[in-house]
Structure 1
Amino acid sequence: MCNQAADPEILLAWYDIHARDLPWRVPPGADLRADPYAVWLSEVMLQQTTVAAVRKYFLDFTDRWPTVSDLAAADDDAVMAAWAGLGYYARARNLLKCARVVARDLDGRFPDTEAGLRDLPGIGPYTAAAIAAIAFERPATVLDGNVERVMARIHAVEAPLPGAKETLRGLAAALTPAARPGDYAQAVMDLGATICTPRNPACGICPWRQPCRARDLGIAETLPRKTPKAAKPVRRGIVYFAQRSDGAVLLERRPDKGLLGGMLGLPGGPWAEGEIVAAPPLEADWQITAGAVRHTFTHFHLILDVAMAPVDEGIEALTGRFFTPEEAGPDDLPTVMRKAYQFAAGQHRPSKVPKTDIA
């Protein structure tokens, strides 16, 4: 049976030895304060994205824009292109808004309190707590998926998420120490990421194995429980790949609001669960490729047909403009559009269909 409460000091001692080496992190024991810009940038990038995916993006961003003022002065298109592939593109738009507020109104300095941080664009409760704790040593309660899982198991909380979130927040707050809160926040996240994993948790080497009630009950791997999600709907759409003889491809800037807001992409019609709505961007001998592009967003699956047409130089499009390969290519596009671009670029003999099918 469990015979002790979870002790933050035990976890911190574990973290001092086993902390992950991350490019935005100050290692435990170093006589340095974490850079608020690096903490903020990494936390925004890490939302809904893995550490492995973020590492390269973080290094690229901080190489190009070493400070928040550098980022604030950056060209919007350059930032959006650098973000391409990370997904959840509203984060990139808010990143620029936040950087500009900090640079313009706060002399390039982030607020050092949760309340002040939450006043900035794109910074919610979790990100504010993470920055306050890690960069400013505030005893803030950081609650991400890793921390939720650790708290649910330590305390054997069987109520499902998302309803149990505030219970887990309270339990996390009760354990947050006044000393070394930044290291502690990162320690709990590291514990969840490396030991208390969703599947096959390594309970035998966990520093909190003794006080863990879920381990004692033999239910650790079943927690946290989650309310079943409804099946994702399937939407369909069509995009148009028009390429000139000089290699330039027709691209359009999507509206700032909505999915992929502000990003470059192939022009196309709306995405809907019903019949595909065609919206050719110019008059051409459009041909549908054999096969389709598939992509999954948070709330739905998407199937995109791809229509192709060679076009003459000088032709006017109803939307967007032609970008040469030097101006923009597939690497500058969000993932779903990159898939469609590369799919179309790899097609040599698309299957011709009557124009009435796509007009």
Structure 2
Amino acid sequence: MTAQNRKNIGFLSFGHWTPLPQSKTRSAADVLLQSIDLAVAAEELGADGAYFRVHHFARQLASPFPLLAAVGARTSTIEIGTGVIDMRYENPFYMAEDAGSADLISGGRLQLGISRGSPEQVIEGYRYFGYRPGDGQDDADLAREHTRVFLEVLKGEGFAEPNPRPMFPNPPGLLRLEPHSEGLRERIWWGAASNATARWAAELGMNLQSSTLKVDETGQPFHVQQAEQIREFRAAWADAGHDFQPRVSVSRSIFAITNDLDRAYFGGGGDSEDQIGNIDASMRAIFGRSYAAEPERLVEQLAKDEAIAEADTLLLTVPNQLGVEYNAHVIDAILTEVAPALGWR
């Protein structure tokens, strides 16, 4: 195995909960506490990352920073992150303070995925949070403007005029937001659904998160389009001349069938083909397949996935409602039964 082949492998949880008897997560408290426990278990298994999705107005994980801080306090090595925070809803100044705090608590392990987000539970839900696009702008412009401000503030440079008679003494010059976490600016990721937004993220010096959904731009298989998106991102990064190397993640639903319970849950083989659908009335999207098979078969299938080969980080989407113990088993099976055979471990 070479360092080039090794992949960071983590999990991505959407944090669903529902008050039904068959669910292991019947409340928001269940999801939050089990998310912390799963991150601890994943670290003990040797996983590299614990990532969480953010959805508002839904029975899913929402406000990420209390959870990230709690995970950071309970773990010591695993990366903690999001995939993704919807920037239409965010105050970039307050967010910079929260992110700085969570990163300092974790000792600099935060990997923060942000984006425009996806269609939500509520029509233009960001308006309830107090945000509206400017004249002649749309919600994508709103997200990008919040992002630009957030990235600028994360640099840690002073911008605010100090009070000449403050309650506490100030350092000289303009003031920055505190707490500031050095290095966090280089650990911001953009969730891109198109090649153009991937190039835009590269120009701004953000790492790339590419999900199991992408705008269908060529009609080719999902993993082929995603691999091309990654290559365009890296080319744009090189052209921008940033002074650090970018990272790229892809997420996949992958289940190794190793026992009867796996077979009961996923023995149907998953969605073996890509799916085509519409994100909204104007955008045709392609959804990547999921993988579910015995380890030997999984190795054969995953070796053909061009986007996984291009990425340095693989996020395993987990069925969080099946509970911590089962999801730890799902992660462990990939780490021990699949990853070594592919040279990822």
Report the TM range for the smaller structure's normalisation: under 0.3
Which entry has the higher C-alpha Rg, 1 or 2?
Answer: 1
Give the alignment's TM-score, normalised by structure 2.
0.24
Which of the pair is proportionally richer in strand? 2
Give the alignment's TM-score, normalised by structure 1.
0.23
